[in-house]
Copies of this chain bind each other. A is one copy, B any other.
């Protein structure tokens, strides 16, 4: 695993052993996530807003309404930060101090620009739907001209990025291992509840198996 950060400001400073900078590790985390947190600055005030995204190659795509304030700020080419966090579990130590979480996160710094070519917009919007629900992009009604025009699609290069990963059991102080308290990890996962059909769903349309078995990543 490559341990050299692409820039000083993406180098993991706390627990540097948890840092990773290779594109495969970063891609796997981005591909498992559903929501990113997008940071940008307006009049000196940082804002952090959740939104969907998709990665393709070394590019991160964000989209939303063409009248979305956040995306229009970004499209102007300001400095941005996109962070994706996968919470893998609670790390329950014997001392309060050593409690932690197992997680995988990616931070991408950079600037975005709008994708304007209609064919490329259509293609990436399909890739986005496949990212969220594999197989669905061919089943739904495709965007028409009006919808495409009402959608702002932004591309951000994944060049200045880092991952940070914690896994494994708690690391207690040697003198605490005799403390009479359960210790270990409680793994957490995203799981589906039974699908809720739209009350207006036409009769005779079965629930796709892909929904019942929905998983993210390999877990």
Contacts and interface: CB of A to CB of B under 8 A. Distances in A.
A106 to B, nearest CB: 10
Nearest to A79: B45
Interface residues on A, range: 35 or more
Given A190-B188, A211-B186, A50 B96 contact: no
Helix, strand, loop or mixed for chain A's interface?
A: mixed
Given A37-B85, A96-B137, A132-B99, A177 B200 contact: yes
B182 A208 contact: yes
B169 A200 contact: yes
A16 interface: no
A92 B176 CA distance: 49
B90 A133 contact: yes
Interface stretch (A17-25, A54-62, A112-120, A141-149): A141-149
Contact of A140 (B48, B93, B190): B93
A199 B79 contact: no
Contacts of A39: 37, 39, 46-48, 81
B199 A182 contact: no
A109 B91 CA distance: 29
A163 to B, nearest CB: 12
